[in-house]
Amino acid sequence: MKRSSILLVALLGLLMGFSYVGQAAEPEILYTGGTFDAGGATFRLGNWGGFWKEQWMEKFIPEFEKDFNCKVSYDGGWPWFPKYVAGGEKNPPHAVSNWNLFQMSKAANAGDFFVDIEEIKANIPNADQIWDFAWLSGTGVTWGFGEHCFVYRKDLVEEPHPTEFADFWEDRFDGMRASYITSNGLFPPLWMTAAQVFGEGPHDVATMEKAMKDSMPMKIVDFTGTMQMFLEKGEVVIGEQWDGELYTMLEAGLPLGVVWWPKGYRAILSQTFTVSKHVSALEKKLAYAFINRALSARWQYELAEVSLGLRSTNKYVRVPEKLAKWGVKNTAEAVAEIWVPEYTWYRENEDEIVRMAESIFAGH
């Protein structure tokens, strides 16, 4: 094509309201609300197994299957990342997967698996009911969450009790504090927050290193259930947790206190739905309908009722009494200080940080 012809096409494009080069496509709108007949189609969902699966299959899935005339294929066999990589971008294991942000970021960095956030928003009529932070991952929408915190045994820690983030590093807790292995999703937020509090910001790796060294000797545990067991037995007196586990332990009568992390850096442990890009239009439409239902005020309240301490991201949901009695609120003020760590940056620097941490934790 001659240069004059290209210029003419570009000019005509501008006159018609579009650019000849580089304009982003408008989001594809498949779902606008309500129910529809899917004709018995299968909708593939990846969600946690065990008790979690039992609750979803009993209280939520049957209603969705009936309302949309579909069959939900529920995969509770986490982890999802190997399944996405094994199948490739064009053959995802699920239409919707439920993730913690840490694991989700790994999959998002590994390939073009997921619909972008703007397209999800455009297909979710309930999107305007959701707190802004629920969209900050850029990949999926967070429907449930809890806050990272430090918990301590009030009966085993002498006064003054810890009240500040930095108190975790006090000498009196040497050998009796605990945190997590590098593959646990609670690992990155702690050290990124330490870099912010003690250094130049959450990407200050040198300050992370010093904070790790200063925390030793420290017990390193694999997951939150182990942390709970160590606290119950008094094998540690202070440890990193998320508040859902805190409320469970308080309910069981364990004498615990809590140290909330600094304002503006109240990191969250999330439950976040992604939508796979390369599925049929019908299954994708079911995906949006399912997420829209999960974000509704009714489902959000019921999910908070049956889940293990999860809070809702729908701004209009009343907090269940079992959480409200511990001071949990669903208000703009309560969510204003929430922080979603920049996991894209972490993944780019993960190898260096993990090598550093594992060397320190091993005592080298």
The topology (CATH level 3) of 32-145+269-327 is D-Maltodextrin-Binding Protein; domain 2 (3.40.190)
Strands (E), the chain: 41-46, 70-75, 96-99, 141-153, 177-180, 219-221, 238-242, 256-260, 266-275, 311-312, 338-339
Distance of alpha carbon 309 from alpha carbon 246, whole angstroms: 8
The topology (CATH level 3) of 146-268+343-361 is D-Maltodextrin-Binding Protein; domain 2 (3.40.190)
| CB-CB contact of 173 with 237 (8 Å) | yes
- Residues 240-253: tens digit of each pLDDT: 999 999 999 999 99
Q: In the predicted model, what is the mean pLDDT of residues 17-41?
A: 77
Task: Give the type of residue at 79.
Answer: P
pLDDT for position 306 = 85
Distance of alpha carbon 111 from alpha carbon 82, whole angstroms: 12
Q: Does the structure show a pLDDT above 50 at 14?
A: no
pLDDT band at 364 (very low <50, low <70, confident <90, very high): low
Distance of alpha carbon 305 from alpha carbon 319, whole angstroms: 9
Q: Does the structure show a pLDDT above 60 at 83?
A: yes
pLDDT for position 69 = 98
Q: Does the structure show a pLDDT above 60 at 318?
A: yes
Q: Does the structure show a pLDDT above 60 at 218?
A: yes
pLDDT for position 307 = 79
Mean predicted lDDT score pLDDT of the chain: 92
Q: Does the structure show a pLDDT above 60 at 111?
A: yes
Taking the mean position of all CA atoms in its chain, how far away is CA 24? 28
pLDDT for position 17 = 41
Distance of alpha carbon 163 from alpha carbon 160, whole angstroms: 9
* Two domains, one topology: 32-145+269-327 and 146-268+343-361: yes
More confident residue, 352 or 305: 352
- Residues 47-66: tens digit of each pLDDT: 999 989 999 999 999 999 99
pLDDT for position 47 = 97
pLDDT band at 12 (very low <50, low <70, confident <90, very high): very low
Buried b (16+ CB within 10 A) or exposed e, 24-35: eeeeeebbeeee
pLDDT band at 183 (very low <50, low <70, confident <90, very high): very high
In the chain, domain spans: 32-145+269-327, 146-268+343-361
pLDDT for position 20 = 36
